[in-house]
A and B are shown apart, each in its own frame.
Chain A
Amino acid sequence: MPSLAEPATCAAVAEALPRVLDRRADPPRGLSRHIEHCLVCQAELARYRRLLRMLAQLGRERAELSPGALADLLEAVEGAARRSVIRSALAGRRLAYGAGLIGGVLAAAALVTVSKLRTMRRPASV
């Protein structure tokens, strides 16, 4: 494939245009130099520009969801929102249970340790 900086042939322009053409920018200089002097390639460029314009216009199209479909969609989002609230509430509760459990275990461990220490310090009775 010839470099875009080199003077291009009609075949090279036709091959390169769909690859390099941007909606807002001119073709690279190597192509532009050829196109300026070639009616056939000017027509080809015009076709691609028209194609890009038509495609861009499709982007403005809107498709209204039927009221039922929109209601379903909103209900699904509402359901997700409810589940997320429940999940975060459960997560909070789980956190509280976990903290309580860990606290309980630590307290039990502390009690056992203290009672063991007391037993060790008490002199052996005859």
Chain B
Amino acid sequence: MSSLGRGERRDVAAESESLEQLTRAARRGEREAFERLVRETAPGVYALALRLLGNEHDARDAAQETYLRAYRSIGRFRSEAAVTTWLYRIAANCCTTQLSRRRVALPLEAAGELADEAHDGDPEAVAATAAERDQLASALSRLPDPLRAVVVLHDVYELGHEAIAAELKISRAASKVRLHRARRRLREQLFPEQRPGDASAPDAAAAVVRPLVRRPQEADEVHQGAVAR
């Protein structure tokens, strides 16, 4: 969905305002406010963990660890960033710890269980979007853990390279290189057409033009008809 309606904009603003209020109350030590903050933000944090770790068990552990760390350090949280961004950073750190404990990369089973709450409108469009989304989720799951972590944090959860480098304990340069590689691999998997500048560039140009002339025999018929006239 490219744009939000007015009502939705207001809802988003109201939601972030309510999260801010909850955060302020939690920082003052109100335990009930922290509990509500957990309830409000856990689905997003859990989705991130599921995306990075790929199975429910590890994702639940990571979400729990995230909130324990958040509880201990919420007094030090300075509302410079949104509380969700802060929680995503903690979650990324917890997931990295879990990933580093793993000896063998596990297949991502749970990627298909996430649900976009914003689906509405034309059922065909929804089905097409769902198919694309599944392709993307599957392409993401095939990325190596280090590449997936960076592209998910940067392009899905909008963390900057500085934050990613800090949470994944890598350099900024490494974060940028991993993002570049991850995007290239995703592009190759989702759009397997040849890249511009490859040895057979004319094929790539043809790939662009081909959809414009869907049925060449139709074009021939039209051409012959015009000549006969």
Binding site for B on A (CB under 8 A): 9-15, 18-19, 21, 23, 38-41, 43-44, 47-48, 51-65, 69-70, 72-74, 76-78, 80-81, 84
Contacts and interface: CB of A to CB of B under 8 A. Distances in A.
Given A19-B180, A51-B187, A76-B64, A65 B42 contact: yes
Interface in B14-39: 31, 34-35, 38-39
A73 B156 contact: no
Given A62-B115, A73-B67, A12 B197 contact: yes
Interface string B38-71: 1100111011001100000001100110011001
A44 B43 CA distance: 34
28 contacts: A10-B197, A14-B197, A15-B197, A43-B207, A47-B191, A51-B190, A54-B190, A57-B1, A57-B133, A58-B114, A58-B133, A58-B152, A60-B118, A61-B116, A62-B115, A63-B46, A63-B115, A65-B43, A65-B63, A70-B42, A73-B38, A73-B64, A73-B67, A74-B35, A77-B35, A77-B38, A80-B71, A84-B72
Nearest to A8: B197
Contacts of B195: 14, 44
Contacts of B60: 65, 69, 72-73
Contact of B208 (A40, A54, A55, A81): A40
A16 to B, nearest CB: 9
Interface of B: 1-2, 31, 34-35, 38-39, 42-44, 46-47, 50-51, 59-60, 63-64, 67-68, 71-72, 110, 113-118, 129, 132-133, 136-137, 140, 151-152, 155-158, 176, 179-180, 183-184, 186-187, 190-191, 193, 195-198, 201, 204-205, 207-209
Nearest to B204: A40
B187 A48 contact: yes
A57 B184 CA distance: 19
Contacts of A18: 179-180, 183-184, 187
Given A18-B180, A56-B155, A77 B71 contact: yes
Interface-centre pick from B118, B184, B197, B198 (highest chain A CB count, 10 A): B197
Nearest to A40: B196
A124 B91 CA distance: 79
Q: Nearest 7 pairs between A and B by C-beta? A: A11-B197, A62-B43, A18-B183, A10-B196, A10-B197, A55-B155, A63-B47
B71 A81 contact: yes
Main secondary structure of the interface of B (DSSP, over half): helix
A117 B179 CA distance: 78
Given A65-B42, A70-B42, A43 B180 contact: no
Given A62-B117, A64-B43, A77-B67, A39 B205 contact: yes
Contacts of B68: 76-77, 80
